[in-house]
Structure 1
Amino acid sequence: MTSRDEAPWHLRHWAVVDAAIAAFFVLLDTVLTLAGTTWWPERPGTLAWTMLGLQALACASLAARRCAPIAVVVVLGAFTLAITLLIHPFGALTPAHENNLWAPFATVLAAYGPLFYQQNRRAAFVALAVFTLIVMRPWQPSWTVLTIGLLRTAVGPLLALYFEARRKLVLALTERAERAERERHLLAERARAEERARLAGEMHDVVTHRVSLMALQAGALRMTATDEATRQAAEDLRQAGCQALDELRDLVGILRTEPEGDGSPSVAGLPTLVAESAGAGVDAELLEEGDPGLASPVVGRTAYRIVREALTNAHKHAPGAKVEVRVHYEESQVRIAVHNTPPTARPSRELVRTGSGLGIVNLRQRVEVLRGTLRAGSAPDGGFCVEATLPAYVPTAESAV
């Protein structure tokens, strides 16, 4: 839709345009009257000059043709009736040409207004009918006057009806085009949803099955192995498989637009997560700004996973470091920053080996699916920083409920 500042100049300054049109018709009717094309007498007196001034005022009423179209018709009709009565039967004015039309030329534009700007069509038709009778003056029958008078008052309403019908047709066509565009968009969304569902099904049926078998076989190997090294390797393999299944389940859920009933933690669980890390020996602090409710469900879960992964890495690789978790909620985005200071002790090799090394990689893929960004790297103070920016709202089936 076009805003007021983008509309054409004549629509933004319609009062100026109407005033200019009124001034033009004042000048036009004054010149035509003095030229003897209407009621002007051969020897004008005081009455004639007075009526010429009143005619100018009546024509000037065209400036109000948008806000009071019937009033303009009444003013011009009253002036035309007054001129007609002064000529006959009172005989106060004697026109130079008896067969001229007494009405000003401004009546053409005045007759256009009631049907185009007036919402009450019945009042508009009544006003135009009376106006037409005054202009045609059928009590003094003359084919020339009747014909020209009818044309004077009929051209405007016919144009008004035409433009009104054209405007409604354009609106109907525009609405039809917008509806077709919406339907096309919905069909495209449906096709994308079906394709996502198909991909999710294939990932679930093929990849999940294979990884599940790997995790089960690793668990079986851990139970039957005779030496500790083999059991530890099998346990690491099983944990990696379980983590892969967890991340894969999340990706399948995203492809299926987050099915209902997903109980994964969201941003509401961040205080508990930080408190648990503090209980495990990590000096962690949580700083939240804004309204957590601005984050849609899938964004909230992703933010939770980012913080959890960052805290886990700090616990493994930066023992004794202080961790600061900042989450800023905005209307359009959610910004997460997890920063840890340099470690004060050497990390445990056994604890470091328990990780798969793919946590940040998996998070980055998940963030990119949501059209966000994630950066992880060394901080200027020698510590480590994980920063992510996510859209606040990602439409899913859950957020539509």
Structure 2
Amino acid sequence: MTPTGRAPWRRVPAWGVDTGLVALSLLDAWINLYGEAAPLMWACAAVGSAGLFLRRSVPMAAFLLTLPMLVFMDVAVAPVVALYTLALHSRSRPLLAGCALLNAAASTLVWPVSETFSGEDRTWTLIQFVYTLATAFAPVLFGQLVQARQDVARKLVEVEEAREHESALYAQTVLARERAQLAREMHDVVSHQVSLIAVQAGALQVAAEDARTRDGARAIRTLSVNTLDELRHMVTLLRASGGSATELTPQPTLADLQQLIANSGIETALTGELPPGISTTAQRTVYRTVQEALTNVRKHAPGARAEVRLWHDARNFGVTVTNTAPTRPTVPLPSAHHGLVGLRERAELLDGTLTAEPTPEGGFTLALRAPARPV
């Protein structure tokens, strides 16, 4: 076998194979006609051998053109090849049997019946006919075997494709079921609890007498409302599992960055800018990176200040979010770092990188870097 996994003879073009078979047939006829000078025999040999060029398009015609050769000479190459090709392309068993009988009869005519045709000659002629018939059936059976093998191979391919299709459908069904269940859980449990937080924060905002408490309640209520919007959007995405068009809420872009910083409850400075015309996917990634960084500052660095720096050069763009050390004691909160994992996946979709590391001053830096490409 070759390195490509195909047998060497399968790499030979069809015309090359047919040319080789015609040459081999002419050699077979020349060996049988050596010393003969009858033009009719040479003509039959030439026509029968050249007929092999037709074996792929009209195998029946190629077989019939080899019959005159059998009448005048004891050849094997052309008749065997013609019978094999006919059996490979035909599904009519009676036709193939008739062609094998015709082949044997034409070969037996080498010994014509005459007045001196004795009983012993008849016996040998019958033996020759049976032998030739058995020889003719060999390529027929082999051709039918190869045809059956090709049919089985095609059926196996069809079965494998059907199995893969069924597996894909089953996986889609399972995924749709899980998405629907997750959407129900988020809608019935998480959304309900966030709604309660928003209601309680609104009540606290109205009842509080201290201005600082009212500001904190207002921030909690605003964040709760934004979280509810995000949850509704995620539930819509999860329920859209069938691939049909679904009306979705607008995704955040750079235009929403100022609002995000204003609602973060953190003293944050926004500097720099991104190149014009970056894709909406890149804008959304920058937005989510800033959102995750400010969320981590609220959770792990209370009282810290943050700086969001947008930048770009001739080849790359990015955003760097740096916060100072916390000014108040931190409260340990559970975290599985799923947010950073998701941000790294978003960065990889842009062929970029995401780094997260502490600063020497006790703060933290989250940086996104991606190649600048047009929309």
Q: Which category describes the TM-score, using the shorter chain as reference length?
A: 0.5 to 0.7
Q: Which residue does the alignment assign to 1:115? A: 87
Matches within 5 A, 1:88-237: 102-106=73-77, 107-117=79-89, 131=103, 133-137=105-109, 140=113, 142-237=125-220
Letter of the structure 1 residue corresponding to residue 37 of structure 2: L
Q: Give the 3 Å change call, closer, same or farther, for CA 112–308 of structure 1 in structure 2.
A: same
Q: Give the 3 Å change call, closer, same or farther, for CA 281–337 of structure 1 in structure 2.
A: closer
Q: Which residue does the alignment assign to 2:7? A: 8
Do the aligned partners of 1:324 and 1:340 also contact (CA within 8 Å) in 2? no
Does 2:69 align with 1:79?
yes
Deviation at 1:112, TM superposition (A): 0.9
- Alignment RMSD: 5.2
Rounded to whole Å, the distance in 2 between the matches of 1:253 and 1:161 is: 58
Rounded to whole Å, the distance in 1 between the matches of 2:228 and 2:7 is: 60
Do the aligned partners of 1:251 and 1:366 also contact (CA within 8 Å) in 2? no
Matches within 5 A, 1:218-367: 218-257=201-240, 260-265=246-251, 283-288=272-277, 303-309=282-288, 317-318=306-307, 323-324=311-312, 337-339=317-319, 364=340, 366-367=342-343
Rounded to whole Å, the distance in 1 between the matches of 2:211 and 2:257 is: 34
User: Residues 175-227 of structure 1, C-alpha deviation per residue, up to 9 Å, x if partnerless?
Assistant: 12321232123113212221222122112211221121012101110111001
For the residue of structure 2 that corresponds to 1:109, the secondary structure is: helix
For the residue of structure 1 that corresponds to 2:37, the secondary structure is: helix
Rounded to whole Å, the distance in 2 between the matches of 1:368 and 1:120 is: 64
Q: What TM-score do you get using the length of structure 1 for normalisation?
A: 0.58
Letter of the structure 1 residue corresponding to residue 86 of structure 2: P
Matches within 5 A, 1:385-396: 385-387=367-369
Rounded to whole Å, the distance in 1 between the matches of 2:104 and 2:208 is: 109
Do the aligned partners of 2:233 and 2:248 also contact (CA within 8 Å) in 1? no
Rounded to whole Å, the distance in 2 between the matches of 1:307 and 1:20 is: 67
Q: Give the 3 Å change call, closer, same or farther, for CA 69–148 of structure 1 in structure 2.
A: same
Rounded to whole Å, the distance in 2 between the matches of 1:363 and 1:26 is: 78
Q: Give the 3 Å change call, closer, same or farther, for CA 367–384 of structure 1 in structure 2.
A: closer
Higher relative contact order (CA 8 A, sep 6+): 1
Rounded to whole Å, the distance in 1 between the matches of 2:148 and 2:27 is: 32
Q: Give the 3 Å change call, closer, same or farther, for CA 126–311 of structure 1 in structure 2.
A: same
Do the aligned partners of 2:355 and 2:367 also contact (CA within 8 Å) in 1? yes
Do the aligned partners of 1:274 and 1:284 also contact (CA within 8 Å) in 2? no
State the aligned residue count: 318
Do the aligned partners of 2:25 and 2:49 also contact (CA within 8 Å) in 1? yes
Matches within 5 A, 1:360-379: 364=340, 366-367=342-343, 375-377=354-356
Do the aligned partners of 2:317 and 2:370 also contact (CA within 8 Å) in 1? yes
Deviation at 1:116, TM superposition (A): 1.7
Q: Give the 3 Å change call, closer, same or farther, for CA 110–169 of structure 1 in structure 2.
A: same
Q: Give the 3 Å change call, closer, same or farther, for CA 286–384 of structure 1 in structure 2.
A: farther
Q: Give the 3 Å change call, closer, same or farther, for CA 369–306 of structure 1 in structure 2.
A: closer
Deviation at 1:110, TM superposition (A): 2.5
User: Residues 280-302 of structure 1, C-alpha deviation per residue, up to 9 Å, x if partnerless?
Assistant: 9865243447xx6xxxxxxx6x6
Q: Give the 3 Å change call, closer, same or farther, for CA 45–184 of structure 1 in structure 2.
A: closer
Do the aligned partners of 1:274 and 1:286 also contact (CA within 8 Å) in 2? no
Rounded to whole Å, the distance in 2 between the matches of 1:386 and 1:170 is: 52
Rounded to whole Å, the distance in 2 between the matches of 1:275 and 1:243 is: 15
Flag structure 1 segments of 5+ consecutive residues without an equivalent: 34-39, 84-101, 293-299, 329-335, 350-356, 390-401
Rounded to whole Å, the distance in 1 between the matches of 2:171 and 2:283 is: 32
User: Residues 278-333 of structure 1, C-alpha deviation per residue, up to 9 Å, x if partnerless?
Assistant: xx9865243447xx6xxxxxxx6x6443233457779x8447x564499x9xxxxx
Rounded to whole Å, the distance in 2 between the matches of 1:224 and 1:276 is: 26
